[in-house]
Copies of this chain bind each other. A is one copy, B any other.
């Protein structure tokens, strides 16, 4: 361990609590002693120990952002926005990744204790949040992108998301309206109880049904690897899909990253987009715009969602009730789908 508050007090010839007052700008301390203490602090590069501080402090201004899969490009913009907004309000944000083996609420509970958090934002993750865990967490919590299942009392947490089923239906309907009937669906991990995944698939099925298009399981490509929803998975699934269905004319992908992988697969088979295969993605990540061709996609208002989540959190921090906001998405038509003649 380095230099402590005790050392500073000794070196400055003052009491420990005076040093504490100086570095926290609390209580009153004469200009003279303040200057003296600050001098020693700088000279010795003293840095207060947050572990010790967290142990004592009652009300902190620490907020955690837990991201399930921090490398997911869709989260990028949101993370940056949340970072800004939290800083703006004078709070400290601690961003952590939640890996595949951990449950986001467990991490939240742990970090709350460790870092004396006053609030948590959870981005991504799974459906299986229990009421018990929320209660154990004990601090305001906002879920972004997902919501807990119906068993959980909605008043003990907040959420900001889109209507995944509706948007999945919208994407599929778009392709149907263009005349497509053989429409593939590229799935991420169907067996997991992840809200967005199941719901978008449901939307796909519903659109087919409503339009009297028979469901064909061969048109659904499922990722059985442990890889996350990346380009590679999209690539492989599209190859499978095309091999199984030579008559396929369109694909709706669960996420833009899968859509991009799928698009590359189409090119690699010597076909073109949208002439041979139409593709619609989901999320509206930056890359979907810069890809060639730019991808049609269901755009999630990421910046607004991020802002909302922060606003709701601060509202709860001030004693406000929990809120559940469902945003509308926008179908961006940018040229990766074509009308079937």
Contact = CB atoms under 8 A, between A and B. Distances in A.
29 contacts: A2-B138, A45-B136, A47-B113, A49-B114, A50-B51, A50-B114, A51-B51, A51-B52, A51-B54, A51-B55, A51-B114, A51-B115, A70-B79, A71-B76, A71-B79, A71-B80, A83-B99, A95-B96, A95-B97, A231-B287, A232-B286, A235-B290, A261-B290, A263-B292, A264-B289, A264-B290, A264-B291, A291-B291, A292-B292
Given A47-B110, A49-B113, A110-B47, A260 B290 contact: yes
**Top 8 A-B pairs, shortest CB-CB distance:** A50-B114, A51-B51, A231-B290, A264-B290, A51-B54, A71-B76, A51-B55, A267-B292
Contacts of A115: 51
Interface in A240-293: 260-261, 263-264, 267, 286-287, 289-292
Given A51-B116, A70-B95, A97-B95, A292 B291 contact: yes
A73 interface: yes
Contacts of A291: 264, 291-292
Each complex incorporates copies of this chain amounting to: 2
Given A51-B114, A231-B289, A267-B292, 18 more contacts: A1-B113, A45-B136, A47-B109, A47-B113, A49-B113, A50-B51, A50-B110, A50-B113, A50-B114, A51-B113, A51-B116, A83-B99, A95-B96, A230-B286, A231-B286, A232-B286, A264-B290, A292-B292
A94 B230 CA distance: 24
Contacts of A138: 2
Contacts of A114: 49-51
Which range holds the interface residue count of chain A? 35 or more
A284 B334 CA distance: 27
Nearest to A1: B113
A256 B248 CA distance: 33
A41 to B, nearest CB: 14
Interface of A: 1-2, 45, 47, 49-52, 54-55, 70-71, 73, 76, 79-80, 83, 94-97, 99, 109-110, 113-116, 136, 138, 230-232, 235, 260-261, 263-264, 267, 286-287, 289-292
A289 B230 CA distance: 13
A45 B287 CA distance: 43
A235 B47 CA distance: 43
A318 B287 CA distance: 43
A290 B231 CA distance: 7
A259 to B, nearest CB: 11
A76 to B, nearest CB: 5
Query: Which one of A99, A230, A286, A291 has the highest number of Cβ atoms from chain B below 10 Å of its Cβ?
Result: A291
